[in-house]
Amino acid sequence: AQTVTQSQPEMSVQEAETVTLSCTYDTSESDYYLFWYKQPPSRQMILVIRQEAYKQQNATENRFSVNFQKAAKSFSLKISDSQLGDAAMYFCAYRSATGTASKLTFGTGTRLQVTL
Amino acid sequence: GAVVSQHPSRVICKSGTSVKIECRSLDFQATTMFWYRQFPKKSLMLMATSNEGSKATYEQGVEKDKFLINHASLTLSTLTVTSAHPEDSSFYICSARVTSGIYNEQFFGPGTRLTVL
């Protein structure tokens, strides 16, 4: 079974600074997707960014980018120019690319605080 | 992006009663829907996966007779918590997966907070 590990329960960053959230995973599969989801205080899960395992190029979405190291099974999220609205729980997630009903496996989450 | 709605957003019930939570995909068809449970400051725990027109697949440790899931159409799935007890109090989140596209994107509802007195 796949596992996703987020070793940082809490992180803090100053507004306008950059922060990196860590995620490692364990799988024997070669084809899969990785995701970062944001859960603000409203509890609505929001997709931040996704990465296909077969792509070597790291995904980028505006201020959000990932460092995907397939051999190391590492998938970190970098938030640049942090904003107060970035404060939330961030979950790393894994999903097999096999089958349309494949499940998301979530990490335990990292709570990000953004300070002035 | 695609929208998933949940109703109700909050519900308070007495112990022993049943509660039904609805999950709808508003602007897309979803052959697969997922139900999660989330405890305070914890991650999402998958309870079951439901496919339209067939029985739900429950995760290990989830009582299927207690958490009844019905996926009657491509846009509606319901979770019924039967004979609710205080330990069932939690935040329940549904998610629907689009059937088209290469990513089979999964969208989440806003959640339902259940409090059992």
The model's pLDDT over B93-106, given as tens digits with 9 standing for 90+, comes to: 999 987 666 567 88
Residue segments in chain B with a per-residue pLDDT below the cut of 50: none
Strand partners, A13: A114
In residues, how long is chain A?
116
- Provide the number of CB pairs (under 8 Å) joining chain A to chain B: 44
- The whole-angstrom distance between A106's CA and the closest CA on chain B is 7
Say which residue the tokens 């695609």 belong to: B2
Strand partners, A96: A32
Q: Which residues contact A62 (CB under 8 A, 6 or more apart)?
A: none
- CB pair distance less than 8 Å for A101 and B49: yes
Q: Which residues of B are less than 8 Å from A46 in CB distance?
A: 108
Strand partners, B2: none
Note which residues in 38-57 of chain B have CB less than 8 A from chain A.
Answer: 38, 41-44, 46, 49, 51
The residue of chain B with its CA nearest to that of A92 is B43
Residue segments in chain A with a per-residue pLDDT below the cut of 50: none
Nearest residue to A47 (alpha-carbon basis) of B95, B52, B6: B95
3-state secondary structure of A92: strand
Q: Which residues of B are less than 8 Å from A44 in CB distance?
A: 108, 110-111
Residue ranges of the alpha helices (H) in A1-88? none
Nearest residue to A87 (alpha-carbon basis) of A39, A34, A24, A18: A39
Identify the pLDDT of residue B30. Answer: 86
H helix count then E strand count, chain B: 0, 11
**A33, A45, A101: residue with CB nearest B32:** A101
Identify the pLDDT of residue B52. Answer: 83
